[in-house]
Chains A and B, each alone.
Chain A
């Protein structure tokens, strides 16, 4: 038993749903109690899909347990086939149905369903969502794909994009563009928008592009073994990685590595003078391994940041993250415990977090700006506009996304220059937070509980994940109350006054650094001198 407050990954059958929902002409019959239908709204609400996921649940209840749950499964399976007439069916059990051991795969096999029925074994009590998606896609490929004649022209399959993925929809277009420039055709994209019929044609491609190893590596390996198709190892997120990806594809496919850099702005934006303020910004990275690996490299080599911590939640990729951390000289964090991540971020006190939806909340609590680089994501991470992460446009998008949470270069200068101005003071908050910015308070604030619960349960809907004004202020206040000042450390009046002169967006860090420095020096009081000695100590 393990206590969890929040979790990065859902159960493995949610991974299977992400595959099924991404595809067309496939249906998933899931042996599960009624509450498990909640998973539908991940797709209809968070991703704003206009169709229900192609999943039929058996919805068994307590009173069915002593009777014939296997019968309910068979009936549901038959009804689902009759109603939806899919090209293929996948069958499986959720965590509860796994315990009652009805064996959906075996039951479906005994039925006369005239399309392929693919059983899934997804051990809920050992594995998680990413395993579920990878294993499901592998089982589908294994059941349906066969070696066959190659297309006369050079073509590849694009593997890995699925429902609820972080910008998968747009990344596909970038990859297609890069391939098009090299004269390489696309045979099948899967699972995204592929039908089971399309899966049977995978063997016709010359190679596979593995977009997201978390979701399709097992299938890519299988195709390499059975169909002799090599697959790409580079994920083209970032400028350098995209160059490498093109080289790799060209080599695998035996074509010229042609590329059109006319739309690529990122390198110049990074070199421009306004980016000087980005120098050595301390960032903390956490998310799925693929995105974290790519982001770490971009942060250091293409943005000029300092990576002060990194980690991933999917243990399957722990080894590669450990290697990466060694390269960056930081301690890797491999965990799916949200509180552990929060602690690590607090300790590292970075100037920015690059993380998931969860880290955005950590950032809010700690008052640290955050940009989202990886699933799990929120409705706002499914933008209406085109917003890829991969390829040249992806590099442009990443530059924008990462610097927007920060106070910009010019703005930083102006804020410092006009600090005493009545309109341009610290409490006005940075412009990019809009009129509802939480005011960073120095002396705590109202106790969070009283502020929050005033008026009873506030309207909270899934749309509301990012919180409303009240909560934001309260959690901010809570943060300040916890992080500002320790019990033993005394700030002398002149030091406190001087601290207030430091722009608010670095004040928290200055306070923490000074206190840390004072502790190391064995000091109980912080004077003006201590403040400046600490500043000199931490000067970079």
Chain B
């Protein structure tokens, strides 16, 4: 292919990564529970942790809607820290109590936290023991969502990866979509692929334990989220093959993601175009409407959700924005490589965080929009910077064609709001 003149040939894949470490402003992996417990309806997430973990889940996640969500914290107390045997007995007792109260629970996740990791509480052994005890009714798995091992969305990766070893073995060729998406988006993806004649399609995680997909040497899988590196590795170890593609954000990302799967399943161009033409046109139109306010604006990504690189690709290529810095908690080039390939070199690509230094860079660059976590948003607004909290990108439907306009809208709304408000006279 000929590179058009005037466009730098280098892409962000070749950009040296700025690696920093210092104070981070990110959630820990425990927070993945907030959407996972809604996705897996017969699962319960039991954090083995401290009062801080319980407080985090409650106040940061704020799902105080039900009297009993499908998660809780077994709070470690002084006595648990004294001896290991003690803690295991206590855990068994609490689990038995929980399961007798909630007979609807089919999958129980023991979720490790910072304190349980520091005291080296062996939750793998506990999960095995409890599986035997409560089989066949309940399957007990474990993973770590601790802040010393995981950030924010990595919790979902750890959770899904913990499920892979116990997936049933299969031989038939199946497509597996990996990642917990809102049902409405998941249905759209399955529908598009089905219309192309691709199938059978299975999804990890399944809404119920009984629908859990199988895996084997003929399984091919595609990740729906760019933070599922461990899960992808675990599936590969079970013999499955990963389809690598940019992530399905925006019209372009969705098309490339679908195209990669279609190619794997030998879908011809005509079929592909027939299925995607109408939604592609809708997506383009919706993006054009929603992104008017974004054209030519600069954006700075603080590391938070791990979605930063694919989103930067969408915003720079489809919404006309200019990225100044794109920070991710960690960069897995095996997953986000195709997205990096599409972005011309220019923005700083940073990994990890030293929040004070990064804030200095934000203040110097004065971007039109800063994407950051909730702890930083209001302070930056108070400094006159416009922000978009990253958390919404994880909870709201933003993938695929029909949401492409909404995704652009999430970024344009803060900018439009700033333009709407006439508060100078009041200040």
* A interface with B by C-beta (< 8 Å): 1-7, 9-11, 13-14, 33-42, 44-46, 48-52, 56-62, 64-65, 76, 79, 83, 94-96, 99-100, 123-126, 128, 339, 342, 357-358, 361-362, 365, 376, 448-449, 452-465, 467, 471, 475
Contacts and interface: CB of A to CB of B under 8 A. Distances in A.
B72 A5 contact: yes
Given A1-B80, A35-B56, A35-B146, A461 B392 contact: yes
Given A33-B146, A52-B379, A457-B182, A125 B73 contact: no
B74 A3 contact: yes
Interface in B1-58: 21-31, 34-35, 38-39, 41, 46, 48, 50-52, 54-56, 58
A170 to B, nearest CB: 20
Interface string B342-383: 000000000000001000000000000000011111110110
A253 to B, nearest CB: 39
Nearest to B59: A42
A48 B374 CA distance: 11
7 contacts: A4-B72, A9-B55, A96-B118, A124-B50, A452-B38, A456-B38, A475-B66
B45 to A, nearest CB: 12
B109 interface: no
Contacts of B73: 3-4, 7
A357 B64 contact: yes
Interface stretch (B91-99, B169-177, B249-257, B419-427): B91-99
Contact of B60 (A41, A76, A125, A453): A41
A462 B374 contact: yes
A56 B375 contact: no
B183 A456 contact: yes
Q: Which of A49, A50, A61, A79 has the most CB of B within 10 A?
A: A61
B94 A1 contact: yes
B87 interface: yes
A126 B146 CA distance: 21
A1 B182 contact: no
Nearest to B147: A35
B46 to A, nearest CB: 8
B118 A4 contact: no
Contacts of B186: 456
Query: 5 tightest A-B contacts by CB?
Result: A35-B147, A35-B28, A456-B182, A40-B375, A50-B382
Contacts of A342: 67
Contacts, number: 249
A465 B379 contact: no
Contacts of B181: 456
Contacts of B31: 38
B148 A34 contact: yes
Contacts of B35: 457, 460
Given A5-B69, A38-B31, A62-B117, 14 more contacts: A2-B74, A5-B67, A34-B24, A34-B26, A35-B27, A38-B375, A49-B378, A50-B382, A51-B379, A52-B375, A79-B22, A124-B51, A460-B65, A462-B61
A292 to B, nearest CB: 20
B40 to A, nearest CB: 10
B65 A471 contact: yes
B68 interface: yes
B239 interface: no
Contacts of B146: 33, 35, 62
B56 A38 contact: yes
B67 to A, nearest CB: 5
B34 A460 contact: yes
Give the interface size bracket for B toward A: 35 or more
B281 interface: no
Given A2-B75, A4-B75, A38 B182 contact: no
Interface of B: 21-31, 34-35, 38-39, 41, 46, 48, 50-52, 54-56, 58-69, 72-78, 80-81, 87, 90-91, 93-94, 97-98, 114-115, 117-119, 146-149, 151, 180-186, 207, 356, 373-379, 381-382, 389, 391-392, 395-397
A48 B182 contact: no
A35 B55 contact: no
A195 B26 CA distance: 29
Contacts of B50: 11, 95-96, 124-125
Contacts of A10: 51-52, 55, 59
Contacts of B54: 4, 6-7
Nearest to A50: B382
Contacts of A38: 27-28, 31, 56, 59-60, 375
A14 B51 CA distance: 11
A3 B110 CA distance: 13
A362 B67 contact: yes
Contacts of A453: 38, 41, 183, 207
A342 B68 CA distance: 11
B144 to A, nearest CB: 9
B64 A361 contact: yes
Contacts of B59: 10, 38, 42, 46, 376, 462
A125 B116 CA distance: 13
A52 B380 CA distance: 9
Contacts of B94: 1-3
Nearest to B69: A5
B216 to A, nearest CB: 28
A133 to B, nearest CB: 14
Given A35-B28, A50-B382, A465 B51 contact: no
A94 B55 CA distance: 13
Contacts of B119: 99
Nearest to A95: B50
Nearest to A449: B41
A57 B147 CA distance: 13
A266 B180 CA distance: 53
B7 to A, nearest CB: 38
Contacts of A4: 54, 72-75
A386 B92 CA distance: 50
Contact of B77 (A2, A40, A456, A471): A2
B124 to A, nearest CB: 16
A10 B72 CA distance: 15
A7 B73 CA distance: 10
A123 to B, nearest CB: 8
A448 B67 CA distance: 12
A44 B376 contact: yes
A95 B52 contact: yes
Given A2-B75, A52-B375, A95-B52, A37 B24 contact: yes
Contacts of B28: 33-35, 38
A50 B146 CA distance: 29
A365 B66 CA distance: 7
Contacts of A7: 51, 54-55, 58, 73
Q: Which of A7, A59, A125, A457 has the most CB of B within 10 A?
A: A457
Nearest to A366: B67
A4 B56 CA distance: 13
A59 to B, nearest CB: 5
A159 to B, nearest CB: 25
Given A3-B94, A4-B54, A7-B54, A96 B182 contact: no
A306 B148 CA distance: 50
Nearest to A364: B65
Contact of A467 (B65, B74, B117, B374): B65
A128 B119 CA distance: 21
B69 A52 contact: no
Contacts of B93: 1
A48 B55 contact: no
A33 B114 contact: yes
A35 to B, nearest CB: 2
Nearest to B383: A50
A62 B148 contact: yes
Contacts of B75: 1-4
A253 B382 CA distance: 42
Given A33-B147, A362-B67, A461-B62, A94 B22 contact: no
B345 to A, nearest CB: 30
